[in-house]
């Protein structure tokens, strides 16, 4: 095994709480109704193609990508479209959603449901990109950036390294971990597909140290594949941040305000790569994903294969319901996830976890005066000075904040995690970004 | 009823109080050594100083500044301990009260409390006493192991004081007879302030603070390293015992200052780069004062002078931002 790599600036070591590392992915089943948002990605909402009363099958196109930066949305169940209207989502904002009454599990005939692994790639680069586009694949690590856009490298830029992000540095989450253990070979074939369209032979699967099983499985599989290798990274948050991972693996830095391609890299989450495999080799659109249901207040934590649009409340019920000690429900991880405004909100393409957290973990502590310990600056993986940003924002000195490079902030939350005075530094950074964008 | 809050939904369990409590724990070995060598007087000075600092902070916050009680954050206790550690055990207790007042009320609360003061409060108290009562502040009881109640201990000189009085005419035998051994300096069997004598106890405290991630190694390493490097270089060139680097790092207030006072969060720079510059400058100033001024010891002055430069250092020594052109 080669050297364990990591990023040089900052980082923190929160408790891992990987309770569900050893629980296999099981199918969560079909709820009575699914709510499928037409915008589960960065970019324009998809154009709705169905109307109430339409019959749909699993994989039926419900909404069509509107423009380049957008993504198709497919049905995840078979049944009847009940409503097409705005409903409150996980963030409390109303979003256009397609409500489908579930009547069965009938698939579109074009989808290959066999479990055989297809190893030969008979398609041209254009066909592959078209298939990824038609499957509505977006970055499943949390960003939700449409994958076809990300994989189309702009003219004049050369990508020489494909990085598969299997880090999953958020506490509690094990969805990617389990996917690597159970669907390792499919992920490696997915990497081969991406290698092919990039015209390179250099895919690196980055996995952090605390996933020994995934490392073992993938190291074994990659021995028989040319151009796909495993790289072990240190367990440190935010190792899975795109910029941090690029620096850890290649030693390069993505210039401020530029894309990973400017550092010669393309980073894809392993979940996304698995979806690419299924889209290309099995004609399967993105209508389901792995979700970790966990948390210290969760009575039956598990990893589920969940149909997109399944209400969070359905999954919570499966995992033992909302226990009395639950203080909040979080979509995503505890570091970057969002508090649920509405527990009936649906699981989307970018929901990697659903957490039930007690006050022991999630309580906000009383805020005190800054003691100038400098721990926030030490922890910031971007080399920013959160204490300064916080101080300037409190004084409403927006012009001064501009010099603090706050637009480079990746919102990982290390500063707010580490602050011994419990100052909400991340909130100040986010506020600063909003104010600066307003001024432009 | 479920709560809504902004990310992150997890926080470290290290807070201001736990950090300060860890500093207090790290300071305890030095107190023990001080009491073992300087007896009941040392204990009285330490207790008076801690009680006075906590008391002044409570009273002035309540009746003068009308703020909430901040004694529970342990920072006044840290100041009290550090002030006592910087005093000789024979000092009259009323002077300790004066020092505590200067440290906590003038040095800290007048600036706005913890996190807002420019100068290290304990050093403000100590230097005030040093300038106001030079005689009492420079009479050093001889260390006498386990003679707790021997109130009329003889006085002697500190190691650095001995070095200061050496000149070209001093004979080598006289020097060797006067200077303590490295071992005595290491464990603390030398004359000096209560808390500064034992390098061993202070290093134990450093190890504890590093383990608990209270501070990083940068400031102590660069401060002590700078003193060692400069005196070592001069010693190699001249062979003069006055420049002996081991004596310089093991005696006087260097260990105490470098480990516990130059590392004070509030009065040291924020960035690692800034901290290194700060520590190196502290080291240079310490050597200059020790070797070329009228005072035998310069740690307090060096740190206080550098405290004044911290805002400037913070402005110009900012960390490198990821992705900016190098």
How close, in Å, is residue B232 to chain A by CA atoms?
Answer: 32
How close, in Å, is residue A11 to chain B by CA atoms?
Answer: 13
- The reported pLDDT for the residue numbered B326 is 55
DSSP per residue, A346-360:
BP-TT--EEEEEEHH
pTM of the model: 0.91
CB atoms within 10 A of CB B237: 9
Q: Do A372 and B16 touch (CB under 8 A)?
A: no
Yes or no: say if A353 and A384 are a contact pair by the CB < 8 Å rule: no
* Tens-digit pLDDT profile for residues A38-49: 888 888 888 899
A402: pLDDT confidence band, cut at 50, 70 and 90? confident
- The reported pLDDT for the residue numbered A417 is 95
Chain A residues lying within 8 Å of B265, measured CB to CB: 371-374
Residue A342 structure tokens: 């509405």
A143: pLDDT confidence band, cut at 50, 70 and 90? confident
* Tens-digit pLDDT profile for residues B59-114: 999 999 988 888 999 999 999 999 999 999 999 999 999 999 999 999 999 999 99
Angle (CA) B208-B214-B218 rounded to 5° is 90
For residue A1, pLDDT over 70 is answered with no
Size of interface A-B (CB pairs under 8 A): 151
Secondary structure tally for chain B: helices H, strands E: 14, 2
Q: Do B265 and A372 touch (CB under 8 A)?
A: yes
Q: What ipTM is given for this predicted complex?
A: 0.89
Q: Do A378 and B272 touch (CB under 8 A)?
A: yes
Q: Which of B280, B143, B7, B303 is nearest to A353 (CA)?
A: B7
- The reported pLDDT for the residue numbered A2 is 67
- The reported pLDDT for the residue numbered A391 is 93
Please tell me if residue B13 touches chain A, with a CB cutoff of 8 Å.
Answer: no
Chain A residues lying within 8 Å of B319, measured CB to CB: 377, 380, 383-385
Q: Do B266 and A382 touch (CB under 8 A)?
A: no
Q: Which of B90, B108, B94, B17 is nearest to B49 (CA)?
A: B94
Report helix angle B93-100 to B16-63, nearest 10. 100
* Tens-digit pLDDT profile for residues A52-107: 999 999 999 999 888 888 999 999 999 999 988 888 777 777 888 999 999 988 88
Cα dihedral sign, B105-B265-B115-A399 = positive
The edge-to-edge listing of strands for the beta sheet with A25-27 is A25-27, A302-307, A288-294, A353-358, A326-331, A338-339
Looking up tokens 């399944």, which residue turns up? A310
Q: Do B9 and A339 touch (CB under 8 A)?
A: yes
Chain A residues lying within 8 Å of B320, measured CB to CB: 383
Q: Do B114 and A343 touch (CB under 8 A)?
A: no
Q: Do B12 and A255 touch (CB under 8 A)?
A: no
- The reported pLDDT for the residue numbered A358 is 93
């Amino acid at each position: 095994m080669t050297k364990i790599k990591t990023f040089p600036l900052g980082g923190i070591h929160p408790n891992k709480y990987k309770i569900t590392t050893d629980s296999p992915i099981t199918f969560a089943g079909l709820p009575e109704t699914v709510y499928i948002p037409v915008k589960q990605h960065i970019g324009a909402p998809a154009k709705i193609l169905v109307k109430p009363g339409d019959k749909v099958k699993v994989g039926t196109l419900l909404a069509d990508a509107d423009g380049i930066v957008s993504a198709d949305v497919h049905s995840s169940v078979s049944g009847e479209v009940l409503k097409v209207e705005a409903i409150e989502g996980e963030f409390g904002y109303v979003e256009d959603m397609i409500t489908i009454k579930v009547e069965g599990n009938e698939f579109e005939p074009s989808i290959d449901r066999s479990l055989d692994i297809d190893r030969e790639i008979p398609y041209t680069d254009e066909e592959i990109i078209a298939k990824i586009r038609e499957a509505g694949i977006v970055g499943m690590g949390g960003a939700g950036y449409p994958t076809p856009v990300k994989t189309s490298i702009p003219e004049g830029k050369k990508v020489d390294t494909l990085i598969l992000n299997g880090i999953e540095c958020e506490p509690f989450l094990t969805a990617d971990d389990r996917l690597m253990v159970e669907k390792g070979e499919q992920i490696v074939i997915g990497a081969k597909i991406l290698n092919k369209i990039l015209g390179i032979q250099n895919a690196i699967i980055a996995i952090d140290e605390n996933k020994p099983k995934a490392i073992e499985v993938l190291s074994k599989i990659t021995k028989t594949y040319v151009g796909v290798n495993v790289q072990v990274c240190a367990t440190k948050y935010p190792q899975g941040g795109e910029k941090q991972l690029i620096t850890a693996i290649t030693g390069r830095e993505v210039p401020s305000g530029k894309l990973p391609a400017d550092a010669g890299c393309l980073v894809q989450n392993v979940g996304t790569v698995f979806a690419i495999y299924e889209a290309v080799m099995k004609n399967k659109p993105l209508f389901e994903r792995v979700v970790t249901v966990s948390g210290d207040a969760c009575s039956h934590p598990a990893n589920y294969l969940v149909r997109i649009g399944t209400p969070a409340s359905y999954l919570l019920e499966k995992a033992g319901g909302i226990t009395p000690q639950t203080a909040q429900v979080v979509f995503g991880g505890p570091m970057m996830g969002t508090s649920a405004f509405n527990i009936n909100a649906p699981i989307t393409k970018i929901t990697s976890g659903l957490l039930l957290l007690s006050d022991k973990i999630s309580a906000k502590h009383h805020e005190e005066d800054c003691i100038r310990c400098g721990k926030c600056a030490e922890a910031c993986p971007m080399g920013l000075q959160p204490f300064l940003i916080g101080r300037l924002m409190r004084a409403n000195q927006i012009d001064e904040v501009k010099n603090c490079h706050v637009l480079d902030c990746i919102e990982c939350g290390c500063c707010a995690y580490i602050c011994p005075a419990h100052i909400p530094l991340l909130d100040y950074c986010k506020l600063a970004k909003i104010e600066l964008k307003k001024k432009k | 009823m479920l709560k809504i809050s902004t990310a992150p939904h997890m926080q470290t369990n290290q807070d201001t109080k736990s950090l300060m409590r860890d500093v207090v724990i790290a300071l305890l070995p030095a107190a023990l050594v001080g009491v073992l060598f300087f007896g009941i007087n040392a204990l009285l000075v330490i207790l008076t100083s801690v009680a006075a600092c906590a008391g002044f902070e409570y009273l002035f916050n309540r009746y003068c500044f009308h703020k909430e009680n901040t004694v529970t954050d342990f920072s006044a206790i840290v100041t009290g301990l550090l002030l006592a550690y910087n005093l000789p055990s024979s000092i009259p207790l009323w002077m300790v009260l004066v020092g505590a007042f200067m440290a906590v009320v003038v040095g800290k609360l007048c600036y706005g409390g913890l996190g807002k003061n420019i100068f290290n409060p304990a050093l403000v108290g100590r230097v005030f006493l040093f300038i106001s009562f030079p005689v009492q502040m420079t009479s050093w009881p001889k260390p006498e192991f386990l003679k707790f109640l021997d109130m009329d201990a003889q006085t002697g000189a500190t190691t650095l004081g001995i070095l200061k009085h050496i000149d070209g005419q001093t004979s080598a035998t006289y020097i060797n007879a006067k200077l303590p051994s490295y071992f005595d300096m290491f464990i603390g069997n030398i004359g000096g302030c209560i808390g500064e004598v034992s390098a061993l106890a202070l290093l134990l405290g450093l190890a504890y603070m590093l383990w608990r991630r209270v501070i990083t190694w940068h400031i102590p390493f660069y401060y002590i390293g700078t003193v060692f490097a400069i005196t070592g270089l001069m010693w190699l060139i001249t062979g003069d015992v006055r420049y002996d680097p081991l004596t310089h790092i093991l005696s006087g207030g260097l260990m105490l200052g470098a480990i516990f006072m130059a590392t004070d969060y509030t009065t040291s720079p924020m960035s690692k780069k800034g901290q290194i510059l700060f520590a190196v400058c502290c080291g240079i100033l310490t050597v200059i004062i020790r070797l070329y001024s009228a005072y035998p010891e310069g740690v307090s002055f060096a740190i206080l002078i550098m405290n004044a430069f911290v805002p400037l250092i913070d402005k110009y020594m900012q960390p490198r931002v990821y992705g900016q052109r190098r």
